Structure 1
C-alpha cells in the first residue's frame, strides 16, 4: 500500500500510445477502487485517432471526487506505458510522487512528426531532475510470456503495490475480464500480473541502491 493512502483522493495518470491498453488499464483501476466503495472519476484524451497516437488517462478516486481532471503537480503516481510519454508528463507529479515506467521503446507519432525529440535517456533525465522513477521493460516481460498484449497486465501488476488498497483486489478485477476465456488465458494474465509486481519491486530495490 502506497503513501497515496495518506490523502483523501488518489490521483493516477496513465500515459502511453494507442494500442497499449492505457484506457483499459484505467478502467480496471477504477473498477477496483469502486469495488472497495470509493467514488471514482476518470477521463481520457487520445492525441491522435489512429493506433499509435499518444494517449493519456486521468483517474481520481476517494471518498468523494468532484472532477476527473488531475491538475499539474498533483498526481500521486504516473504510470508510463511508454518512456518518452512518461517523461513528457512528469510535470503532473506531486512532490514525492512516483513514476512507474516501461522502458520498452515505442516511438510516438509526435516524435516522427518532429514535434518532440525522443529523449536519449528518459529514466536518467527524470532522476536527474529529482523524480522518483521505478523502471522496467514491461514489453520484454510480455513477450517472454508469449503475447505483447500482456504488457497491459504487467503494468497493472507494477502499480498494484503502490495503491491504497490490496493488490489482490486489482488482480481479481483483471482476471474477471477473462472469466469466459480459456484457462490458459487467465493463467497467462495471472503470471503477467505477478511478473509486473516483481519487476516493480526489483526496480524499487535498484533505485534505492543507486541512492
Structure 2
C-alpha cells in the first residue's frame, strides 16, 4: 500500500472541515468546485456553502466545505476549521472566528483593497496577518504568489489555481489526477498558465506535510451524524 493510500484510508474516517476565502474575481467559486470534486475521491460525502458580498468584484467571498462519511451540513458547530485557504491575505482576518488551535492556514500574499473600503484606510500586510493567525494557534504557510503572478503576467484569478496546487500537496492527493481534473475545468487556451500556477502552489508546500492531520471534532462540535438516519 502506498503512503498516500494509507493516508487516505486513515483520514477519510474523520470529518474534514475546510474554508476558502477571497474576493470576487479571484476564483473562489471555481476553486471550491475543484476542491469539492477532489475531496469526493476520498470522502463519501462532501457538502459546501458559499457566502458572497453584494458586489461581485472585490467583495468578500467565502466557502465552507465539510467532508466525511455521514456529514449532512457544512456548519462547523463552533469548532475551528481544519484547513483554510486564503486568496487575499486580509480576508483571513474577516473569518478569524473560524480559525483556532490546530487550523492549517495557507495564506496568499496578495493584497487587494476590497470594494467599499475607503482608499485612505490602511491595508494589513501579509506578515501581520500571519502573526495574528499564529497567535490564535494556527499553523500558517505563507503562499508567495504576488511577485510570481506579476513576473509572469498572470491575472489575479490565477491565484485560485496556485491555491489548488497547494491544497493537493497539503492533503496528499495524486498530482496527475488533479491536473487532469483542472484541465477539464479550464479553457484549453489557458491550460499552460493554469499548469504553471498549479505547480507553483504545489511546490510551495513542504513534502513533509503530507501525513493526515484531520483531528477528531470536540463534543461541542457535533458531526450532525444524527441527520443521516433522517
TM over 0.5: yes
The residue that corresponds to 2:163 in the other structure is: 155
3-state SS of 2:18 partner? strand
The residue that corresponds to 1:142 in the other structure is: 149
Q: 1:57 to 1:143 in 2, by over 3 A?
A: same
TM-score, with structure 1 as normaliser: 0.80
The residue that corresponds to 2:212 in the other structure is: none
The residue that corresponds to 2:215 in the other structure is: none
Q: Report the CA distance between 1:105 and its aligned residue.
A: 0.6
The 10-residue stretch of structure 1 (2-11 or 65-74) with the greater mean CA deviation from structure 2: 2-11
The residue that corresponds to 1:192 in the other structure is: 197
Q: State which of 58, 62, 67 in structure 1 corresponds to 2:64.
A: 58
Q: 1:60 to 1:168 in 2, by over 3 A?
A: farther
- RMSD of aligned Cα (Å): 2.9
**Higher RCO (Cα < 8 Å, 6 or more apart):** 2
Give the Cα separation in 1 of the matches to 2:164 and 2:136. Answer: 26
3-state SS of 2:198 partner? helix
Q: Report the CA distance between 1:189 and its aligned residue.
A: 1.3
Structure number, greater radius of gyration: 2
3-state SS of 2:90 partner? helix
The residue that corresponds to 1:209 in the other structure is: none
The residue that corresponds to 1:207 in the other structure is: none
The residue that corresponds to 1:131 in the other structure is: 138
Give the Cα separation in 2 of the matches to 1:145 and 1:38. Answer: 39
Higher relative helix content? 1
Q: 1:76 to 1:47 in 2, by over 3 A?
A: same
TM-score, with structure 2 as normaliser: 0.74
Higher relative strand content? 1
